[in-house]
């Protein structure tokens, strides 16, 4: 088994959801090791739910998930601990611990899982925070940071143990275009330098086009595409074309033909105070 | 079964369902407690976390416990003095104040106050962490959330409750002295002598046993409700507020039930 296929992630006959209610059914895909796989789909298509099941945060309704050939739901306690220490996850909102400073948040896995001295931990934390441009904010608490900064801090924490597989849940949502591009570059660099396996859940088409080696598209409760980026761009599937070309459904236009709200139904007659501009 | 029979049996069915849910939840809470108790001794790394929790649960509760203890002692001193003076037995005031505080009021009222001050915030803290995926983040980092969040709180409660109860006892007795002796003119020597002579070790140890049991109840119920906030129908901020309310009400009810059971057994 070469170093890349060591971290192939296989989803076999996987059905995920909450309770008995399936959100995504019959998933049979392989997320290749050493590559960036983007899991694409509209809002509510089950991307994050699928990710949480791949990460063993929930049990699937049916099917299995293997990482490097190991069924993650049938691992011994020690094997599971070893596997978890090789994984990193960037949550949608960072999921930083609110009671800890940024420094302590990033340092937490090192303090829990290594015998490193505080001085060495501080060096690693500063280096990882520097990678995401947050070296000057280490003394801040999460609620003192913007959404984008929290997300970048979450990435620094996810990277602090030098994981071999990094999962990112909508890494660019809420970031400005410059920071989005910087984050994409960072993910590409991580793959290139460390041969890292990355699984990115996103609906950001621009980001997907920059970073994806492999794309899985979810829709209508199932996988509707599994293949390379070039293959996706050449697809003739109407749903995928509409998604890739960012075309809204026709029915949205019809909704705008609804009559405007009658000013007489308003509780305050704003035209008295603002003239006709107040409706 | 006909509709009429079903209608007649509906209250019984509802009662049975509620009882099963109650028993099931109590069982789940017991397992939750056992797990957090076991993890208290998992590593030396628990010590600094426990010290931080002692500061939050114990040290920060001192002022409110002192205030409540003082006024409770003052009220008991005053009421008991009036009652005893009808029989010319004012000399027993110290015994009455000390026994009622040490056996009953100090452990129960301390538990109530800590539930209101620290228990509710434990539920809210863990509940918010749950709905904002911070608990999931701990799991992903291979940090056991029970060990990181619950066990230090349980250890801190087991240490803080008896200490706070002792503080309540002492300040309460001082409060009884203030009203019964300084205000109403009772005999100071008789008050102190009766405290000394009436209190046995069984009274004191019984109070401590109660405070330890209440510590387990408050910590387990409050942490459990926060930890499983995401299983509620409302998973958002309203779910956290409902979990907090449930935790406080359930803790108070269980404290009183446990108090009755323990009093029956201990004395």
Domain hosting B207: range is: 3-266
Test B141 with A109 for CB contact under 8 angstroms: yes
- Please state, for a pLDDT cut of 70, what percent of chain A lies above it: 94
Using alpha carbons only, what angle is made at residue A63 by residues A57 and A66, rounded to the nearest 5 degrees?
A: 65
Q: Select from B43, B47, B136, B137 the residue whose CB has the most chain A CBs within 10 Å, as the one to mutate to test that interface.
A: B137
Chain A environment of B136 (Cβ under 8 Å): 52, 57, 91, 95
Both tokens of residue A8? 């192939």
Average pLDDT for A55-84: 90
Q: What is the pLDDT of residue B193?
A: 94
Q: Which CATH number fits domain A5-86+163-278: 3.20.20.80, 3.40.50.300, 2.60.260.40, 3.40.50.720?
A: 3.40.50.300
Mean pLDDT of B121-139: 94
* Residues A75-95: tens digit of each pLDDT: 898 898 888 888 999 998 889
The complex scores an ipTM of: 0.83
In this model, does residue A201 exceed pLDDT 80?
A: yes
Q: Residue A14: phi, psi to the nearest 5?
A: -80, 130
Q: Where are the alpha helices (DSSP H) in B86-200?
A: 93-99, 106-114, 120-131, 134-140, 145, 151-177, 188-198
Looking at residue A266, its pLDDT comes to: 85
Looking at beta carbons, which residues of chain A come within 8 Å of B143? Answer: 108-109, 112
Query: What does the pLDDT average to over A153-170?
Result: 92
Residue-level pLDDT at A270? 83
- Test B133 with A93 for CB contact under 8 angstroms: yes
Question: Which residues in chain A are closer than 8 Å to B133, comparing Cβ atoms?
Answer: 91-93, 95
pLDDT of residue A5: 53
Residue in the block written with tokens 């057994």: B265
Residue at token pair 């027993």: B92
pLDDT-based confidence at residue A254 (cuts at 50, 70, 90): low
Chain B residue numbers with beta carbons less than 8 Å from the beta carbon of A97 are 129, 134, 137-138
pLDDT band at B241 (very low <50, low <70, confident <90, very high): very high
Q: How many residues does chain A have?
A: 279
Distance of CA A41 to the CA centre of its chain: 12
- Tell me the mean pLDDT in the region B110-138: 95
Quote the pLDDT of residue A111: 92
Query: Phi and psi of A179, rounded to 5°?
Result: -70, -35
| pLDDT digits 0-9 by tens, A217-234 | 998 889 999 999 999 999
- Residue A240's pLDDT is 86
- Look at residue A251 in the predicted model and tell me its pLDDT: 62
- Domain boundaries defined on chain A: 5-86+163-278, 96-162
| pLDDT per residue as tens digits for the range A83-135 | 888 899 999 888 999 999 999 999 999 998 999 999 999 999 999 999 888 99
Q: pLDDT (tens digit, 9 = 90+) per residue, A174-193?
A: 788 888 888 898 889 888 88
Asked if the Cβ–Cβ distance from B132 to A98 is below 8 Å, we say: yes
Q: Is the pLDDT of residue A214 over 90?
A: yes
| Model pLDDT, residue A6 | 67
- CB distance from B136 to chain A under 8 Å? yes
**Residue B52: other Cβ atoms inside 10 A:** 14
**Shortest Cα distance from B227 to chain A (angstroms)?**
15
pLDDT value, residue A248: 66
Read off the pLDDT of residues B159-204 as tens digits, 9 standing for 90 and up. 999 999 999 999 999 999 999 999 999 899 999 999 999 999 999 9
**A24-45 residue pLDDT tens:** 999 999 999 989 999 998 888 8
Q: What is the tens place of the pLDDT at every residue in B11-51?
A: 999 999 999 998 999 999 999 999 999 999 988 888 999 99
Q: How many domains does chain B have?
A: 1
In which band, very low, low, confident or very high, does the pLDDT at A4 lie, cut at 50, 70 and 90? low
Nearest to A109 by CA among A93, A128, A85, A132: A85
Interchain pair A112, B139: CB under 8 A: no
Q: Which residues of B205-236 are buried (b: 16+ CB within 10 A; e: fewer)?
A: ebbeebbbbbbbbbbbbbbbbbbbbeebeeee
Question: Looking at residue B1, what is its pLDDT?
Answer: 67
């Amino acid at each position: 088994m070469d170093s890349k296929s060591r971290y192939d992630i296989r989803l076999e006959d996987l059905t995920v959801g909450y309770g008995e209610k399936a959100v995504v059914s019959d998933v049979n895909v392989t997320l290749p090791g050493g590559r960036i796989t983007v899991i694409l789909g509209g809002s509510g298509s089950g991307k994050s739910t699928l990710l949480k099941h791949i990460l063993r945060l929930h049990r699937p309704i049916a099917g299995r998930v293997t990482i490097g050939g190991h069924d993650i739901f049938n691992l011994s306690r020690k094997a599971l601990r070893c596997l978890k220490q090789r994984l990193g996850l960037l949550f949608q909102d960072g999921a930083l611990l609110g009671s800890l400073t940024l420094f302590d948040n990033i340092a937490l896995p090192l303090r829990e899982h290594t015998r490193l001295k505080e001085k060495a931990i501080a060096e690693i934390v500063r280096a990882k925070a520097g990678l995401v441009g947050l070296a000057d904010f280490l003394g801040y608490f999460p609620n003192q940071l913007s959404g984008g900064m929290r997300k970048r801090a979450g990435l620094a924490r996810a990277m602090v143990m030098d994981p071999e597989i990094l999962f990112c849940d909508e890494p660019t949502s809420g970031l400005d275009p410059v920071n989005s591009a910087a984050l994409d570059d960072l993910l590409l660099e991580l793959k290139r330098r460390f041969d890292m396996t990355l699984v990115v859940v996103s609906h950001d088409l621009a980001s997907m086009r920059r970073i994806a080696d492999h794309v899985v598209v979810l829709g209508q409760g199932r996988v509707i595409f599994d293949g390379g980026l070039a293959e996706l761009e050449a697809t003739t599937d109407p749903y995928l074309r509409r998604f890739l070309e960012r075309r809204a459904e026709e029915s949205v236009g019809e909704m705008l033909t609804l009559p405007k709200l009658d000013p007489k139904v308003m509780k305050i007659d704003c035209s008295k105070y603002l003239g006709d501009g107040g409706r | 079964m006909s509709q009429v029979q079903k209608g007649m049996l509906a209250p019984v069915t509802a009662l049975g369902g509620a009882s099963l849910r109650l028993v099931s939840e109590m069982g789940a809470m017991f397992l939750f407690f056992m797990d957090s108790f076991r993890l208290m001794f998992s590593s030396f790394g628990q010590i600094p976390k426990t010290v931080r929790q002692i500061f939050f649960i114990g040290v920060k509760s001192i002022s409110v416990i002192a205030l409540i203890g003082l006024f409770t002692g003052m009220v008991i001193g005053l009421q008991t003095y009036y009652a005893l003076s009808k029989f010319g037995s004012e000399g027993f005031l110290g015994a009455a104040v000390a026994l009622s505080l040490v056996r009953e009021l100090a452990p129960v009222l301390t538990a109530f106050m800590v539930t209101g001050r620290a228990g509710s915030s434990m539920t809210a803290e863990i509940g918010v962490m749950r709905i904002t995926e911070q608990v999931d983040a701990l799991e992903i980092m291979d940090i056991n959330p029970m060990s990181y969040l619950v066990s230090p709180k349980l250890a801190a409660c087991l240490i803080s409750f008896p200490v706070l109860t002792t503080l309540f006892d002492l300040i309460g007795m001082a409060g009884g002295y203030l009203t019964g002796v300084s205000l109403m003119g009772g005999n100071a020597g008789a008050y102190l002598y009766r405290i000394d002579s009436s209190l046995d070790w069984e009274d004191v140890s019984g109070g401590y046993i109660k405070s330890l049991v209440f510590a387990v109840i408050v910590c387990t119920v409050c942490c459990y409700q926060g930890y499983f906030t995401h299983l509620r129908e409302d998973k958002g901020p309203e779910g956290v507020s409902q979990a907090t309310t449930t935790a406080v009400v359930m803790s108070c009810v269980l404290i009183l039930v446990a108090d009755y059971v323990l009093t029956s057994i201990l004395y």
